[in-house]
């Protein structure tokens, strides 16, 4: 099979205040992953390898850090970079200087595997498909090969969701997972006993990987993997639980549409929210008739469970 190549696009000095917006721009252009060089503020980490974590950044300017995004090497790459430059220029006040590097997918996908070990999160054990593991009594093993998609269970936003899923999925619920990535939450929900799960992502690669992981765990019959954002999915049924581990901006964008897909008494579990953006998310939830039932906080990240306020008679 021919080798697949990815292009690493690096911006050396991203202002911290604009980081989330810039990460969004990369994702809008179809980046397969966005990585911050400063491990203290890892956000949309799709991949890690020894080059990225623990690296020293001697040229780091105060209040800035490096950001790298990964694009498939194809005939759309030039256009994508041009459009990105156009969006970034007003924000940075100068024409962005991208540093480009070509990476063979196989090298990249293999390099970070040594960092992904079985993760215990409550009763759930996230086991990399290439690791051996002896299951202990009471454990629920989710076997995963995330490939190039986000979701290994090591990121706090995923961990918080997995902890809350274990509290919520105690009955055969109908679950919608928005931004499924590797399918980690969808597969976990199915293994916890969800009756049916719709696992959606705007990234076709994630949809494929989630389907493979559903298959690997013997729950493919209860998980429908679908590409698109919430409104594009054309959902005809209502869900007892909508889970979305996506960044604050994306959560704010879907909040108005969530009540339309929630069954009466249903819950919305939103994660991927940095502490600083939490008040905004709380306010947006309140405006759309949600009340916050519970929130969990870890390492500057927040996950929240919201329910629709009962209408007064």
| CB 180, min distance to ligand SAM, A | 5
| CB 168, min distance to ligand SAM, A | 14
Tokens 């179809």 -> residue: 30
Decide: is 178 part of the binding site for ligand SAM (CB under 6 A).
yes
The CA distances from residue 43 to 67, 120, 218, in Å, are 10, 21, 30
Nearer of residues 185 and 274 to ligand SAM, judged by Cβ: 185
The CA distances from residue 75 to 8, 84, 87, 306, in Å, are 15, 16, 20, 43
Nearer of residues 217 and 245 to ligand SAM, judged by Cβ: 245
User: What is the distance between the terminal CA atoms of the chain, rounded to a whole angstrom?
Assistant: 64
Nearer of residues 64 and 157 to ligand SAM, judged by Cβ: 157
To the question of whether residue 158 is assigned a binding role by annotation, the answer is yes
Quote the CA–CA distance of 281 and 279 in Å, as a whole number: 5
Decide: is 23 part of the binding site for ligand SAM (CB under 6 A).
no
Tell which residue, 231, 241, 305, has the closest CA to residue 271.
305
Q: Please check whether residue 203 is in contact with residue 173, taking contact to mean a CB–CB distance below 8 angstroms.
A: no
Decide: is 33 part of the binding site for ligand SAM (CB under 6 A).
no
Classified as helix, coil or strand, 170 is coil
Decide: is 126 part of the binding site for ligand SAM (CB under 6 A).
no
Nearer of residues 63 and 228 to ligand SAM, judged by Cβ: 228
Tokens 């879907």 -> residue: 254
Decide: is 151 part of the binding site for ligand SAM (CB under 6 A).
yes
259 to 278, contacts with ligand SAM by CB under 6 A?
272
Decide: is 96 part of the binding site for ligand SAM (CB under 6 A).
no
Decide: is 150 part of the binding site for ligand SAM (CB under 6 A).
yes
The sign of the CA dihedral 204, 114, 214, 223 is: negative
To the question of whether residue 132 is assigned a binding role by annotation, the answer is no
Q: What is residue 124's DSSP assignment?
A: E
Q: Which parts of 93-234 fold into alpha helices (H)?
A: 105-111, 156-168, 184-192, 204-216
Decide: is 70 part of the binding site for ligand SAM (CB under 6 A).
no
Among 173, 181, 190, 303, binds ligand SAM (CB under 6 A): 181
Among 7, 34, 144, 161, binds ligand SAM (CB under 6 A): 161
Classified as helix, coil or strand, 296 is strand
Decide: is 202 part of the binding site for ligand SAM (CB under 6 A).
yes
Strand partners, 223: 197
Q: Please check whether residue 295 is in contact with residue 304, taking contact to mean a CB–CB distance below 8 angstroms.
A: yes
Decide: is 206 part of the binding site for ligand SAM (CB under 6 A).
yes
Nearer of residues 96 and 146 to ligand SAM, judged by Cβ: 146
To the question of whether residue 240 is assigned a binding role by annotation, the answer is no
217 to 246, contacts with ligand SAM by CB under 6 A?
229, 245-246
Q: What is residue 57's DSSP assignment?
A: -
* Interface residues toward ligand SAM, by CB under 6 A: 44, 149-151, 158, 161, 178-181, 184-185, 200-203, 206, 229, 245-246, 250, 272
Annotated binding site: 158, 179, 201, 245
Annotated binding site for S-adenosyl-L-methionine: 158, 179, 201, 245
């Amino acid at each position: 099979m021919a080798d697949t190549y990815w292009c690493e696009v690096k911006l050396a000095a991203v202002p911290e205040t604009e980081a989330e917006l810039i990460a969004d721009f990369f994702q809008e252009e179809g980046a397969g992953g966005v990585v911050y060089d400063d491990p203290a503020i890892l956000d949309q980490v799709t991949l890690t390898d020894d080059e990225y974590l623990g690296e020293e950044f001697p040229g780091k300017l105060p209040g800035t850090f490096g950001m790298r995004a990964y694009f498939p090497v194809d005939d759309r790459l030039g256009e994508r970079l041009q459009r990105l430059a156009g969006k970034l220029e007003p924000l940075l006040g100068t024409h962005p200087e991208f540093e480009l590097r070509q990476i063979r997918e196989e090298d990249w996908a293999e390099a970070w595997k040594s960092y992904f070990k079985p993760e215990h999160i409550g009763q759930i054990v996230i086991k990399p498909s290439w690791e051996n593991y002896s299951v202990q009594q009471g454990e629920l093993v989710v076997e995963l090969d995330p490939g190039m998609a986000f979701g290994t269970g090591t990121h706090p936003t995923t961990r918080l969701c997995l902890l809350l899923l274990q509290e919520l999925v105690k009955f055969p619920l109908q679950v919608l997972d928005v931004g499924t990535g590797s399918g980690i939450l969808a597969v976990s929900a199915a293994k916890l006993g969800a009756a049916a799960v719709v696992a959606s992502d705007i990234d076709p690669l994630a949809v494929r990987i989630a389907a493979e992981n559903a298959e690997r765990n013997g729950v493919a019959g209860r998980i429908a993997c679908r590409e698109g954002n919430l409104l594009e999915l054309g959902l005809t049924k209502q869900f007892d639980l909508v889970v979305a581990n996506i960044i604050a901006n994306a959560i704010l964008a879907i909040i108005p549409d969530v009540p339309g897909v929630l069954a009466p008494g249903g819950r919305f579990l939103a994660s991927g929210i940095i502490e600083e953006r939490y008040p905004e998310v709380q306010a947006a939830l309140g405006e759309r008739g949600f009340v916050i039932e519970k929130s969990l906080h870890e390492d500057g990240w927040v996950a929240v469970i919201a329910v629709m306020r009962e209408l007064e008679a």
